Structure 1
């Protein structure tokens, strides 16, 4: 899946445990709030929630949603200001690599989803969380 980001032999995902994470610090709580806003937005757009806050030692998945028959792994990015490019610019190849590793681990722990078509989306929130502008980027790795 998406070999342009990394070579298949670099990471042995079958050995990575899957876990849930919870926000601890104030900044993480703001991130969790941004994820809740993104989840509500996607549900309004017709997607359904499958899972959230899934992590392994090499990456994490903010939201796992279904769009029809397609399984959608969602990365949520939030920035208060557009300085340094804003939320969309904060999506780096390194971040995508970690996300894809977590997706592979997800499929290993939940083989029922392996035959489903899938994609990676980004929901970028910009500005105050009370009035954030939301941008939904579909299939960012395809």
Structure 2
């Protein structure tokens, strides 16, 4: 049975769409969205010239528990790395590439819903 990802978080899906648009404007090329397997899920997999980039997108509506970037803890990083390894096993045409792990942090800063977007290259 193939692995199936449930995308029921509307705000999360919107954040990923915004991040994708931003990264395309920066010149990155999309390979996969929401690559999921038993080890976890990677939101976006893109090429930055010849570098394969695994991107975690985080959205925070409130900063009560820290900003969006701070929510990518060691456990989440390990899951993303393990999922990236599975991706590389399944897509051997990218095995020669240098890999990078980036984060897109989107935080809601005011009552009007204005969000900031921060691209953190080589986040972990």
Greater per-residue strand proportion: 2
The alignment partner of 2:27 has SS state of coil
Greater per-residue helix proportion: 1
2:115 aligns to what? 132
The normalised TM-score by structure 2 is: 0.91
2:13 aligns to what? 32
Gaps of 5+ in 2: none
Change beyond 3 A, Cα 1:42–1:130:
farther
The alignment partner of 1:40 has SS state of helix
In 1: Cα distance, 2:30 partner to 2:82 partner: 20
Say what the alpha-carbon RMSD is for the aligned residues. Answer: 1.9
In 2: Cα distance, 1:126 partner to 1:101 partner: 27
1:72 aligns to what? 53
1:6 aligns to what? none
* Number of residues of Structure 1 aligned to a counterpart in Structure 2: 122
The normalised TM-score by structure 1 is: 0.80
Gaps of 5+ in 1: 1-16
Change beyond 3 A, Cα 1:107–1:20:
farther
